[in-house]
Amino acid sequence: MHSIKAIFFDLDNTLVDCETADRRIYEIVAALAREKVLNINTCQLINCFKEQLLKVPFDPDGQMNYYPWRISLWEKALCEQGINHSKLAEQLNDLFHLDRMAFYQFLPGVKKMLTELLDHYIGVIITNGDSGIQRPKLKACHAENYFDHIIVGGEEPFEKPHPSIFYKACDLAKCSPEDAIIVGDSLNTDILGGLNSGLASTIWVNPKNKKIPENGPFPNDQIVSALELPFIMKQF
């Protein structure tokens, strides 16, 4: 039986519904595109941008900041329809990165859960990603009001699942790995990292009841929502 001192949380799709935020901002982006270009195929535009964003979210050569890089992705998506409009690409990118934050809030019930739960534990967010992308998200949901410490992977030598970022969280929380747990939606970053770091437990947020691959990694527990966490903590 472990005496848990700290809870490490992932951010995206663990505490925040990123899918809803993305869907809403793409609707707004599509409306702007249609306003500026008559008869544009907005479905094709959005899908083309999404595909590129998935394949190359950042400049592979490291020469360009994420923001102008993603303007270039919008330019390519527009060019797929024979539209050369660099100003529109910039406007679409502004909407995607800035207005999206209006939808970036903690899931219903999460604030109450965090307020009550983290009265008994040290709370640390460990989120992967570029600082310029993750910091605005954290600010939008006022994460600093609920957590003792926040770690952004893009600001560290290594991101999750590398053990070093989990050990840093332990140092900040002034606890050993066996006194902490990780809660996250990614098997390959949150769960694998927690297992490799020797944390007391790994809790997989799995709202769609996805199957665990045959070769793992295998979490210690699964939950539909982070709101189940107070009940999980009773076992420790």
Residue pLDDT tens, the chain, 236 long: 568 999 999 999 999 999 999 999 999 999 999 999 999 999 999 999 999 999 999 999 989 999 999 999 999 999 999 999 999 999 999 999 999 999 999 999 999 999 999 999 999 999 999 999 999 999 999 999 999 999 999 999 999 999 999 999 999 999 999 999 999 999 999 999 999 999 999 999 999 999 999 999 999 999 999 999 999 999 88
- DSSP letter string over 177-203? GGGEEEEES-IIIIIHHHHHTT-SEEE
Delineate the domains of the chain, giving CATH numbers in brackets: 6-16+104-235 (3.40.50.1000), 19-102 (1.20.120)
3-state DSSP percent of the chain in helix, strand and coil, to 5: 50, 15, 35
For residue 90, CA distances in Å to 31, 43, 72, 109, 156 come to 15, 19, 9, 36, 29
**What whole-number distance in Å separates Cα of residue 220 and Cα of residue 236?**
13
Beta bridge partners of 122: 6
| pTM recorded for the entire structure | 0.92
Instruction: Name the 3-class secondary structure at 25.
Output: helix
Torsion, Cα of 130, 132, 134, 140 (10° steps): -170
Residue-level pLDDT at 131: 94
Segments of 64-192 assigned E as strands: 122-127, 149-152, 180-184
Residue-level pLDDT at 2: 63
Torsion, Cα of 133, 180, 199, 170 (10° steps): 60
